Copies of this chain bind each other. A is one copy, B any other.
Amino acid sequence: MTDASAPPMTRIQQKNRDLILQGALEAFSANGFRGATIDQIAKAAGLSKPNVLYYFGSKDEIHKALLTTLLEMWLAPMQQIDPQGDPLDQVLGYVRAKLLMSRDYPRESRLFAYEILQGAPHLTEILGGGLREIVDRTVVVLERWMDEGRLARVEPRHLIFSIWSMTQHYADFEIQVRAVLGEGRDPVAEGGAFLDDLYRKLLTP
């Protein structure tokens, strides 16, 4: 997807755009779009505010670029479900992958959570387009497995919602989780075991 028509980026451009997106992820995921300021982003990136705006014309543009950059990575695990694999293994693997992403990339998780809470003003086209297609493809696979009797029959899209909501819960509502569990526990490790058990019971034919 590297732009062929646009002029190639200099090393400096590459580096600074990256620094800015880095800083923007920090700021946006912590405070939401409106809560984050360009100054915060600039500081986190180690650049001056006008310099940040030299690379991205506006706060909106930074946000959009960040979402676009991260969306692919965020949806990747679902596309790695292997239609040829063992159904239960594949679904449990997906759950596990999603949960680990919540643990390892909580800022990205929060970024998308904010965006969708807000009504997804910068993601509408993707939500209605690409995302739906990706889900549809997965749904086809799931339904085939159910038809073949290799997976218990459940509404596949709601199955996916359940996976999204529960795995992201550990990242987005981490504070609540920690408050309820108390100290000295590993929320994600425990959650992983719980979810494994849950989906095994739900999906074993």
A interface list, Cβ under 8 A from B: 30-35, 110, 113-114, 116-120, 127-128, 131-132, 135, 152, 154-155, 157-162, 164-166, 168-170, 172-173, 175-177, 179-182, 190-191, 193-195, 197-198, 201-202
Contacts and interface: CB of A to CB of B under 8 A. Distances in A.
Copies in the assembly, this chain = 2
Contact of A191 (B31, B127, B158): B158
Q: Is the interface of A mostly helix, strand, loop or mixed?
A: helix
Contacts of A154: 194, 197-198
A164 B63 CA distance: 29
Contacts of A166: 161-162, 165-166
Contacts of A118: 31-32, 35
Contacts of A35: 32-35, 118
Contacts of A164: 169, 173
A70 to B, nearest CB: 16
A56 B49 CA distance: 35
A176 B120 contact: yes
A79 B182 CA distance: 20
A113 B171 CA distance: 12
A110 B172 CA distance: 13
Q: Which of A35, A128, A158, A169 has the most CB of B within 10 A?
A: A158
Nearest to A119: B175
8 smallest beta-carbon distances between A and B, as pairs: A165-B169, A127-B179, A34-B35, A158-B194, A165-B165, A34-B34, A165-B166, A116-B173
B161 A116 contact: no
